[in-house]
Amino acid sequence: MIKLNLIPAYKKEEIKRTGRLHQVFKWEISLIFMIIILFAALFSIYSILKADLQTASLESDSADSGKYAQLKQYDSELKEVNSQVAVVDKIQKGQFYWPDLFGKIDSLALPGIKFTGIKTQNYNAYLSGNADTRDELMAFKEKLDGENCFENVNLPISDLVSQTNVDFQIQFSIKDSCLKKQ
């Protein structure tokens, strides 16, 4: 059998080009198909990981919400305790501390002076007692005047009539810085 090729050369070239073009289209289609399969696989992996992340975050949120509620309760209890401490602190700062003041008065008293009573009202004190001599009583009054915690020391002149065995009542004001602890 004899084969004759009667097709002109330019047609032969065109047939080869068409064959190559078909081959390129087949490769492109297979390449696009593989890319679509790759993207589908990546998208399915992304969806699975996203679902796992949401599940894990829901589990951690439920655990965290219990801890958050407990922390919120602790916070409210702490605020309540702090407010109670603030109230107690305010009350303590407003209290008068008389023992320190009585100690000062006792340290200023001379041996011949005996106290029979003391009355206090706000920042005023009324001290009554008996002194062996009028001079000891005057010296005690001068010591009270010289002390920086006491003001307006008042010893009635009627208490100075007797020379010995003098009954007295001294009135004086007390500075608030001496009565309150800072």
User: Is residue 21 within a helix (H) or strand (E), and if so which, with residue range?
Assistant: helix 9-94
pTM score of the predicted model: 0.50
E strands in 6-139: 113-121, 124-133
Cβ atoms of residues 170 and 153 within 8 Å: yes
When mean pLDDT is compared over 21-35, 124-138, 148-162, the highest value belongs to 21-35
For residue 99, give both structure tokens.
Answer: 């023992």
Tokens of 132: 């062996």
Confidence category of residue 36, pLDDT binned at 50, 70, 90: very high
More confident residue, 181 or 53: 53
Domain ranges of the chain: 9-38, 63-94, 98-179
Cβ atoms of 154 and 141 closer than 8 Å: no
Q: Which tokens in the block code for residue 24?
A: 């390129």
Say what the pLDDT of residue 34 is.
97
Choose which CATH entry (3.40.50.300, 3.30.1360.100, 3.20.20.80, 3.30.200.20) describes domain 98-179: 3.30.1360.100
C-alpha to C-alpha distance for 105 and 114, rounded to whole angstroms: 11
pLDDT of res. 124: 85
Per-residue pLDDT, 33: 97
d(CA 3, CA 119): 146
In this predicted structure, the answer to whether residue 119 has a pLDDT above a threshold of 60 is yes
Q: What is the mean pLDDT of the chain?
A: 86
pLDDT at 182 over 60: no
CA gap 134, 116 in Å, rounded: 17
**Residue pointed to by tokens 């919400």:** 65
